Amino acid sequence: MSHADLARHVRRGLASWQLERALALLLEHLDAGIEVTALARACALSRSDFTRKFKVSIGATPQAWLRRQRVEKAKRLLAEARLPLAEIGLECGFCDQAHFCRIFTRLEGVTPLGWQRLAG
């Protein structure tokens, strides 16, 4: 990528302060979620502009990034093997165990218990 292409790409994405703010807010609200409108407001952008710039900066939508972070947290909890699946799902912001298992399996290619066995 040429210097001019890189400069255009950076301008199309979020400013560094906006990206830091958005990621911090997403992580603060990992368990309950946060509306994209609130993220956009915190970054002084419209909802559509924020969503587009976030995707340019991160390579995923805010919701997809949040789901990935929830699954990463779930993997850490599964590795500790102290909580039942339903509690891990709730702790990570999923509405129930079925939703947790569905999203985890879609992103990891294996069920949470299967991942736990492989990681153990």
Q: Residue ranges per domain, the chain?
A: 3-59, 66-119
Distance (Å, whole) CA 25 – CA 19: 10
CB of 63 closer than 8 Å to CB of 30: no
Residues written for the chain: 120
Segment 15-19 mean pLDDT: 96
* Predicted local confidence at residue 4, as pLDDT: 52
Q: Which pLDDT does position 7 carry in this prediction?
A: 47
* Type of residue found at 73: K
Q: What is the mean pLDDT of residues 33-58?
A: 96
Q: Are 103 and 67 in contact (CB under 8 A)?
A: yes
Give me the pLDDT at residue 9, please: 47
Dig out the tokens for 82 from the structure. Answer: 């102290």
The amino acid occupying position 47 is R
Cβ atoms 32, 19 nearer than 8 A:
no
In angstroms, the first-to-last Cα distance of the chain is 42
Supply the pTM of this predicted model: 0.83
Q: What is the CATH number of domain 66-119?
A: 1.10.10.60
Q: What is the mean pLDDT of the chain?
A: 90
